[in-house]
Amino acid sequence: MNTADRLRNDPDALLRLIEEHRILKETVENSPVLFCVYDADDRLLAWNRAYEANHPEAFAASRQDESLGQMTYADLVRHEISRKLPAAQIEDEVARRVEMQKTANGMPVVRHYDSSGWTQVYKYRLPSGAIAGLAVDVNALKQREAELIEARRIAETAERVKGSFLARMSHEIRTPMNGIIGMAECLFDSDLTPDQRLSLDTILSSGEALLNLINDILDFSKIEAGKMELVLRPFSLLDEAEALCRLLMPRARALGLDLILDVDPALDVALVGDSARLRQIMTNLLGNALKFTPTGHILLRIESRESRSSTHRDITISVQDTGIGIPAERQKAVFHAFEQVHQPGANQIGGTGLGLSITADLISAMNGVLDLSSVEGRGSTFQCSLTLPLARRVQDKIPRAPVPYAAPGSRGTIHLIDPSPLHAAPILRNLRHLGFVPQRWETLTDHSLTDAPKPLPGPLVLSDRAIPEHDVTAHLGHIAGAGDPVIVLWNRRGAPPRPANAQVLLEPVSLVQWFDLLNDGPQRIAPAPAAPTARQLDLYVLVAEDNRTNRLVLERMLKGRVTRLEFAENGRLALERAIAHRPDVILMDMAMPVMGGLDATRAIRAHEARAGAPRCTILALTANAMSSDRDACLDAGMDDFLTKPVRLEQLLQNLANIRPLETPAPGDQAAHDTVRLPRPVNGAASC
């Protein structure tokens, strides 16, 4: 029995079918979704009101000539495009659209109609061979898409402006810092007292700290963009921590705080990591502690233990303070960008609120963990846990030999007078590492010290915390042995006492300082192979640099260290001298008047190619520090990229790897000459 027979025998089924048909027709007819069906011969069979409203001209024309039942898809397309395309192109477009409908496979196509705007069309073939079509209004989505495109354009423009501003700011600060750091390095070659050398080292550290601040701002932008990169090289974490605390000690002293450094002597090894980023982490944590600690102490403790792998070390860096603490409900927020905890008792209110956020991101980039424990009113401890590889290769040595470990008790007894167990702990640990048996007394008038046999055998170390207001010399005279060294650790304002035969050391005292002092001089620590001295470099160096200060710095660095040194104050002069005199090396600035470094480099490379001349080495030496600047320099034909301020050792290492070209032709300037060219024209750009 077929379907028709069943319906004749079952009136109820027929009624149900009629009702279903009515509901379906009403649903389709009143749907906002466009609906149509074309038969295999392209004639329109069925449609709803929304479809007709979307093509008003085609339906109006068909109703007028009473051909609605014969309207084809080609007729509809022809009406739609008649006013959009030239007459000669209409039929080709009609044929293309008809062919597309015949091969429809259900994939969506977005179209724009004059009557309804943007729609997304789905067409698919039915079992009968007819083509069914559905179209959905996507004007809201298109509007949102346009808004997102505009928002992205605005954001990208803002990002470019911000990047340009940061690059310019970095450039303008690096230029004078090149003079400060470069000249300070040159002063190291002069005769200096230990105190002068320490002060000069502090100037260098301060300059580097300022540069790190600039780099922090640039790094925050990189972190936001997901472009943070770590520079892995061998370094000494112990040396980095000691240099940082020496830099921050005056600030802590001015605030009336004790800044204590406690580093495991076992960390006097070469590790591989990003030393600048690790110093940045410690700087941010210590700076935060200094800001929020009104009284008491700040302790930087660095511990080491062997990792599961013999090639790595597990490192724990903690900064503990006795400050105002952080409320429990605010402890997570302090790691968010631009978040600060403003509470009464802070030494300083201000800053960007980026320090801890950047610190957390940097530690995460190193696969480390940053933890915080804090009690409001009692202080905070930030603890960073990292695993770093040991430097294994010969070329990965740190710039000095490690301090040798001595067996316990092999060096005899040493006496420390210090009332603070916390301050004394790292001193005692260092002295034990050097083989001494340390004995601690709290004060010069300690009863146990007073009753001990005099003079005390062995060296005597006196902390300024144990020095009374009255003359210390009288106390030391009968305590210390005549031939034993007396060491005064000084961390106060004003001039330290100068007892006879006493050596005064400014805190923090490094493990290397302890070794040198207690082993009759620094010659006992064999230095690592030094960078080649400049007199070993048989090179003709041309410096293209428009900034007078930078020229002076490079002259001080290189004069006498290379066989010939000349200067060009713009790219045009550098090009002329490169062609006429064929230098071995050109140190090329990027931004110069008359002709920039990039154009000069391209012109030099073009000349070498035309003349078949040997290729000289061109090193970019610029205050432009962005990765795009590096790429631009290398693309122009430069061989390497150095950023200002350049360190003398780094510069000499780069020059030491360069082979000179053939001997200069007769008539060139004699060796060892330093040639100064005319001053730059008014309005010359900085480096």
pLDDT bucket at 682, cuts 50 / 70 / 90: very low
The mean pLDDT value for 145-150 works out to 92
Domains 412-524 and 534-675 share a fold: yes
Q: Which of 59-63, 304-308, 469-473 has the lowest mean pLDDT?
A: 469-473
Q: Which of 17-26, 107-116, 334-343, 639-648 has the lowest mean pLDDT?
A: 334-343
The mean pLDDT value for 587-612 works out to 93
What distance in Å separates the CA atoms of residue 424 and residue 419, rounded to the nearest whole number? 8
The reported pLDDT for the residue numbered 673 is: 37
The mean pLDDT value for 351-368 works out to 80
The reported pLDDT for the residue numbered 513 is: 83
Q: Which residues contact 585 (CB under 8 A, 6 or more apart)?
A: 539, 540, 541, 542, 616, 617, 618, 619, 655, 658
pLDDT greater at residue 150 or residue 223? 150
Q: Name the fold adopted by 31-137.
A: Beta-Lactamase (3.30.450)
Q: Are strands 44-47 and 34-38 parallel, antiparallel or unpaired?
A: antiparallel
pLDDT greater at residue 663 or residue 548? 548
User: 524-532: which pairs have CB atoms within 8 A and are 24 or more residues apart?
Assistant: 525/400, 525/401, 525/403, 526/401, 527/399, 527/400, 527/401, 528/397, 528/398, 528/399, 528/400, 528/401, 531/649, 531/652, 531/653, 531/656, 532/652, 532/653, 532/656
Token readout for 400 is 């000095």
Residue position matching structure tokens 């230990």 = 194
Q: What is the pLDDT of residues 543-574, one digit of tens each?
A: 999 988 888 889 988 988 899 999 999 999 99
Is residue 38 pLDDT above 90, yes or no?
yes
The mean pLDDT value for 30-57 works out to 90
The percent of residues in the chain predicted with pLDDT above 90, rounded, is 26
CA 294, chain centre distance (Å): 31
Nearest Cα to Cα of residue 379 among 417, 418, 343: 343
Ramachandran area for residue 350 (φ above 0: left; ψ -120 to 50: alpha; else beta): left
pLDDT bucket at 347, cuts 50 / 70 / 90: very low
Inter-residue contact 614 to 662 (CB < 8 Å)? yes
Q: Name the fold adopted by 412-524.
A: Rossmann fold (3.40.50)
Q: How far is CA 344 from CA 323, 375, 608, in A?
A: 11, 15, 68
The mean pLDDT value for 4-24 works out to 80
Q: How far is CA 35 from CA 30, 133, 431, in A?
A: 10, 6, 90
Inter-residue contact 637 to 618 (CB < 8 Å)? yes
What's the whole-model pTM score?
Answer: 0.55
Q: What is the pLDDT of residues 97-132, one digit of tens each?
A: 899 888 888 888 888 877 778 889 999 999 888 999
The mean pLDDT value for 4-19 works out to 77
The mean pLDDT value for 499-517 works out to 79
Residue type, 360: A
Is residue 292 pLDDT above 70, yes or no?
yes
The mean pLDDT value for 446-451 works out to 66
The mean pLDDT value for 641-649 works out to 82
Helices 597-611 & 571-581 angle (0-180, nearest 10): 20
pLDDT bucket at 522, cuts 50 / 70 / 90: very low
CA 86, chain centre distance (Å): 58
The reported pLDDT for the residue numbered 388 is: 93
Q: How far is CA 301 from CA 37, 137, 320, 504, in A?
A: 79, 65, 8, 24
Nearest Cα to Cα of residue 200 among 209, 187, 213: 187
Token readout for 246 is 């020496």
What radius of gyration do the chain's Cα atoms show?
Answer: 39
The mean pLDDT value for 19-40 works out to 89
Inter-residue contact 543 to 554 (CB < 8 Å)? yes
At 410 the three-state DSSP class reads: coil
The reported pLDDT for the residue numbered 471 is: 55
Class of residue 631 by CB neighbours under 10 A (exposed 0-12, middle 13-18, buried 19+): exposed
What distance in Å separates the CA atoms of residue 561 and residue 531, rounded to the nearest whole number? 12
- Residue ranges per structural domain of the chain: 31-137, 230-396, 412-524, 534-675
pLDDT bucket at 264, cuts 50 / 70 / 90: very high
> Half-sphere exposure of residue 115, counting CA atoms within 13 Å on the CB side?
14
On average, the pLDDT of the chain sits at 80
pLDDT greater at residue 135 or residue 535? 135
pLDDT bucket at 180, cuts 50 / 70 / 90: confident
Residue position matching structure tokens 């696969």 = 367
Is residue 685 pLDDT above 70, yes or no?
no
The mean pLDDT value for 51-74 works out to 84
| CATH superfamily membership of 230-396 | Histidine kinase-like ATPase, C-terminal domain (3.30.565.10)
Q: What is the pLDDT of residues 405-446, one digit of tens each?
A: 888 888 888 888 888 899 999 999 999 998 999 989 887 766
Is residue 133 pLDDT above 80, yes or no?
yes
The mean pLDDT value for 521-532 works out to 38
Inter-residue contact 377 to 362 (CB < 8 Å)? no
534-675: which CATH architecture? 3-Layer(aba) Sandwich (3.40)
Q: Which residues contact 57 (CB under 8 A, 6 or more apart)?
A: 79, 80
Token readout for 240 is 């980095």
pLDDT bucket at 384, cuts 50 / 70 / 90: very high
Is residue 58 pLDDT above 80, yes or no?
yes
Q: Are strands 117-125 and 131-137 parallel, antiparallel or unpaired?
A: antiparallel
Q: What is the pLDDT of residues 207-223, one digit of tens each?
A: 776 776 676 666 666 66
Is residue 182 pLDDT above 70, yes or no?
yes
Strand partners, 380: 374
Q: Which of 33-47, 185-199, 310-324, 372-386 has the lowest mean pLDDT?
A: 185-199
The mean pLDDT value for 304-328 works out to 88
